[in-house]
Structure 1
Amino acid sequence: MKNVVIGFLGSAKDSMGRGKKRWQLWRPSVACVMQPELPVDRFVLLHEQRDSRLANNVGTDISEVSANTEVQLHQVSLPDPWDFAQVYAVLLDFAEHYPFNPEEERYFLHITTGTHVTQICWFLLCEANYIPAALMQTAPDREGRNPAGTCQLIDLDLSKYDALSSRFRRQHLEGADFLKSGIDTCNGQFNAMIQQIERVAIRSSAPILITGPTGAGKSQLAKRIFQLKQRRGSVRGDFVAINCATLRGDSAMSALFGHQRGAFTGAQQARKGLLTRADKGLLFLDEIGELGLDEQAMLLHAIEEKSFYPVGADHPVQSDFQLIAGTNRDLQLEVEAGRFREDLLARINLWSYELPGLRHRREDIAPNLDYELQQATQLLGYKVGFNRTAREHYLQFAQHGDALWLGNFRDLNASVQRMATLAEGGRINEDIVAEEKQRLQRGWRRQPAEDLPALDEVLDAEQLASIDLFDEYQLRKVIAVCRDSASQSEAGRRLFNRSRERKSSSNDAHRLRQYLARFGLVFDDLKK
């Protein structure tokens, strides 16, 4: 592969020395082609018009030092080389129009020359993958006798630093920050809950119940709790996780508790169950409400006695594990319906935490978006980000009351992965955001019809007998939105999101209050 150096002419340092004396001095651009371990096939030298003569002289000297180096002079216009916006725009224009060919050429961006503003802009463009290059830094040697000086390469290929950066993050994230994956969340209730979970995780080995809608992050939090306990030395075993919705029939008992050889048809070998594998560690049972009643009974015994009988076994197996259970169901309602054991719920409900969905944490969308961009960067191996306008458009959409986020953080993760994949040079623009907004909205519209609340929960028999069918359906939807909103103002914004633009007053909360008053209802009562 050919080696290509791109750099800015150093109007002061590159002009040092006259006549033969110049060969005894360190000149940064010329020094680039004097590195024996880095033969340069092409040098792209940017310069301003006023420095054209110097650029030609330096180009001639580069050719004299390295006859195999092709010098390409590239003139740019920088009326104010200390104006950040101006310099960045000029260098971005260069980067977008230069015919990079990474399949056949290696690129090195020389950042020693130019103003500090130029050097910073070079770095930003390289980090954002507009310029697929390693950074190159030259310097004079300490004695000042060698005109070649020294050369250092800085490769911004993030994949090479994954292990180092992961270690750094693990060492510096502590407690609640660790449980939040280092995401600087803003929601006060969520932050307070995580802080308490941190204290419980460190001090207690009792079961923990994590509830919340699908995609709210129950599995991620359970894994983080395990890692925190592991770092503090309170668990020595493994993290064992299973979605109970995948366990059906006779195989459920075998998967959880194991079986002896010959215990049933097809049991040709003995099998250790998940509870055995979790000994001295942590067992995460996601969607625990999907377990059958028989499995629930055995699980309760295993939690209390630290022992259980594998299928077909005559002797118990010991296993000392901590349990974290997850569910998107209301287990108290499941108990009332006879589908969940009351004694098991009482045992796993000592510490219970409800994770709110993404639409109830709209102030946390921005930091979680940044986190997802970091994940995409690690996955793709190059920097991924928005331009400023595109980020503003995406956040305005994501934080609006119309954004349903039915899949919660899974929706956000998938959204960022799609945009990052489509982004040329890792830069997400307005067109990509517009397409992604439409894709999300189409997906949300295809979701099954929502289960609206019954009116007999809030209206008396006389009201129910007199309400029109039209008002009935409308009121049920309004109640559902109210219960799903953090405040009356938020509910009003969601309900009047279109007509607001045609009203002289935008007091949505007042309009909602008036509507509910027609039926003798109050927002706070609906929330209860």
Structure 2
Amino acid sequence: MARRRVVIGFLGTTMDAGKDNRWERWRPTVALCQHEDFLVDRLELIHDAHSEALALRVKGDIGQVSPETQVRRHVMNLKDPWDFQEVYGAMRDFADAFPFDAEAEDYLVNITTGTHVAQICWFLLVEAHYVPARILQLTPPRRWREGGPGKYDVIDLDLARYDRIATRFAVEKAEATSFLKSGIATRNEAFNRMIERIEQVAARSRASLLLTGPTGAGKSQLAQRIYELKKSRHRLKGPFVEVNCATLRGDSAMSALFGHAKGAFTGALQDRPGLLRKADGGILFLDEIGELGPDEQAMILRAIEEKRFLPLGSDKEASSDFQLIAGTNRDLSQDVAKGKFREDLLARLNLWTFELPALRDRREDIEPNLDFELARFSEREGAQGTFNREARERYLAFARSDRAKWRANFRDLGASVTRMATLAPAGRITEEIVTEEIARLEASWARGAKDEPEAVLREFFSEEALAEMDLFDRVQLAAVLRVCRVHSSLSAAGRALFSASRAQKASVNDADRLRKYLARFELDWKTVAGK
């Protein structure tokens, strides 16, 4: 369905008047609707209260020359139409309140009528995307007193900047960065600078973004906020589509991302559009993109570059114009060196890379994030959650200390606040609850550190040695070492590790088999078991 054409413009109090000979003169607002090849579906006509009679007459004249055109009047009273600050403020308020629907309607702003100040303000609002429109310029016929439609042109002008408006833009930029931070008054200077840069990029670019950082650092939430910011500025019209690539495997990954044709594989009973097509016109957030297989990486690269891809089992290409935001907690450059990630795909993602720091590296931001989590708990549960003064001071002292590991970053903090607020009598978190929570966190982190494969291996190997070890060997060896530690003898550990082989009579000597395995890494039972 074709989009409706909507023109927004001021009533020309002099040029649109025409008085008694109005049909013998060129009147721009009426002439706008007289072009046979330029049907205006709706005209948003702005005027002040004093010009209501003229506005009604112009509306009636448009009804005669173009019955298909709907005219909607908007009253905008200005004390001084030549006062730049007043005019800009009024027009900006009009733009903020206007129900733009860029997916269904094509907007143009008519700069032929109105004061020069109003024309400049149109330029600024359009350039900043507060008005998602193009500029329309009308030109009278050679003998404009003879009437007629004249000509129309869509133009592109270089816009100037003004100090008073620049001040307002600075305030709006600060509001945008605050929005990206979910309203949290963060204090970490490096993080704040990064958010400011992201705001600039989000406002001006549709290139791919790469968000890196540890699990729980807020990549998914930031991607969602970037989308909402761009949406509010009419920079996109499609949806936000998020997928965790770690959950995709084999044909299901290809089908989920790129869609499939009916009969592409067993169980494919109907066509499936896929997530890339769903993200058309919007943002596709691929979290943990490093988990994608080589085939998916190749197709994602082509989809970014050419906006086209081939659904699974189809001989007809599909298209989708989306912006990609990728997230990862891995060093993709190392994966490229190991042949696990495409270098050309990383080059496409690497134009804008932003690394989100871990919570332990932003300890000055723990307090404002604590308040944010408390407010979120109250909103979610409909119950108040606050600290008494002593409890708050004790929790913050712990949270900022080296004792607090924050292994899952903001997920740890959010879960901690939820537990305390839930247990708080009458919604008031006490020192007793804080003491209990600190013990719970430390116990959880201690268990995690003991069981993490890398932590187990570091007891026996240097960082250099681990770097030369394949991931497969690291994971397998860590599991073997954990089994060894909970058994009293080499034979008992061997029986636990090779129970299936022994049941199938495929293992002759479990202890000898385990001893040889450990020897591959220059380890022995006494060293591993600590005997």
The TM-score range, normalised by the shorter chain, is 0.5 to 0.7
Q: Who is 1:55 aligned against?
A: none
CA distance in 2, matches of 1:272, 1:216: 32
Alignment pair present for 1:426 and 2:427: yes
Letter of the aligned partner of 2:329 in structure 1? N
Letter of the aligned partner of 1:437 in structure 2? I
Q: Who is 1:182 aligned against?
A: 183
Q: Who is 1:500 aligned against?
A: none
Matches within 5 A, 1:16-415: 174-415=175-416
Q: Please report the RMSD computed on the Cα atoms of aligned residues, expressed in angstroms.
A: 1.7
Give the superposition deviation at 1:265: 1.1
- The 1:456/1:358 distance shift into structure 2, 3 A limit, reads closer
CA distance in 2, matches of 1:393, 1:331: 39
SS of structure 1 residue aligned to 2:304: helix
CA contact (8 A) 1:173 1:182 kept: no
Task: Give the ranges of 4+ consecutive aligned residues of structure 1 lying more than 6 Å apart after TM superposition.
Answer: none
CA distance in 2, matches of 1:267, 1:455: 50
CA distance in 2, matches of 1:285, 1:251: 15
Letter of the aligned partner of 2:386 in structure 1? G
**Can you list the C-alpha shifts for 1:260-311, whole angstroms capped at 9, x where unaligned?**
0011111001101000000000000000000000000000000000011101
- The 1:374/1:264 distance shift into structure 2, 3 A limit, reads same
CA distance in 2, matches of 1:341, 1:446: 36
SS of structure 2 residue aligned to 1:371: helix
Give the superposition deviation at 1:229: 0.4
CA contact (8 A) 1:283 1:323 kept: yes
**Can you list the C-alpha shifts for 1:358-403, whole angstroms capped at 9, x where unaligned?**
0000000000000000001101213210000000000000000121
SS of structure 2 residue aligned to 1:240: strand
CA distance in 2, matches of 1:173, 1:201: 14
CA distance in 2, matches of 1:277, 1:200: 24
CA distance in 2, matches of 1:415, 1:280: 38
CA distance in 2, matches of 1:284, 1:330: 18
Letter of the aligned partner of 2:210 in structure 1? L
- The 1:172/1:455 distance shift into structure 2, 3 A limit, reads closer
CA distance in 1, matches of 2:438, 2:405: 12
CA distance in 1, matches of 2:288, 2:421: 31
CA distance in 1, matches of 2:463, 2:433: 46
**Can you list the C-alpha shifts for 1:440-474, whole angstroms capped at 9, x where unaligned?**
0111011134455975769xxxxxxxxxxxxxxxx
Give the superposition deviation at 1:220: 0.4
- The 1:172/1:320 distance shift into structure 2, 3 A limit, reads closer
Q: Who is 2:486 aligned against?
A: none
Letter of the aligned partner of 1:332 in structure 2? S
Letter of the aligned partner of 1:210 in structure 2? L
SS of structure 2 residue aligned to 1:176: helix
SS of structure 2 residue aligned to 1:446: helix
Structure 1 gaps, min length 5: 1-170, 459-528
**Can you list the C-alpha shifts for 1:466-523, whole angstroms capped at 9, x where unaligned?**
xxxxxxxxxxxxxxxxxxxxxxxxxxxxxxxxxxxxxxxxxxxxxxxxxxxxxxxxxx
CA distance in 1, matches of 2:266, 2:316: 21
TM-score, structure 1 normalization: 0.53
Letter of the aligned partner of 2:211 in structure 1? I
CA distance in 2, matches of 1:226, 1:456: 40
SS of structure 2 residue aligned to 1:261: coil
- The 1:455/1:316 distance shift into structure 2, 3 A limit, reads same
TM-score, structure 2 normalization: 0.53
CA distance in 2, matches of 1:199, 1:392: 37
**Can you list the C-alpha shifts for 1:407-426, whole angstroms capped at 9, x where unaligned?**
00000000000011101111
SS of structure 2 residue aligned to 1:213: coil
Give the superposition deviation at 1:174: 2.2
Give the superposition deviation at 1:172: 11
SS of structure 2 residue aligned to 1:283: strand
CA distance in 2, matches of 1:253, 1:318: 15
Letter of the aligned partner of 2:258 in structure 1? F
CA distance in 2, matches of 1:307, 1:232: 26
Matches within 5 A, 1:465-480: none
CA distance in 2, matches of 1:210, 1:260: 32
- The 1:372/1:456 distance shift into structure 2, 3 A limit, reads closer
CA distance in 2, matches of 1:172, 1:198: 8
SS of structure 1 residue aligned to 2:314: coil
Q: Who is 2:437 aligned against?
A: 436
Give the superposition deviation at 1:207: 0.3
CA distance in 2, matches of 1:265, 1:217: 38
- The 1:233/1:316 distance shift into structure 2, 3 A limit, reads same
Letter of the aligned partner of 2:236 in structure 1? V
Letter of the aligned partner of 1:266 in structure 2? G
SS of structure 2 residue aligned to 1:210: strand
CA distance in 1, matches of 2:310, 2:301: 12
CA distance in 1, matches of 2:424, 2:286: 38
Give the superposition deviation at 1:312: 1.1
**Can you list the C-alpha shifts for 1:339-375, whole angstroms capped at 9, x where unaligned?**
1000000011100011000000000000000000000
- The 1:203/1:437 distance shift into structure 2, 3 A limit, reads same
CA distance in 1, matches of 2:414, 2:174: 22
Give the superposition deviation at 1:258: 0.1
- The 1:235/1:390 distance shift into structure 2, 3 A limit, reads same
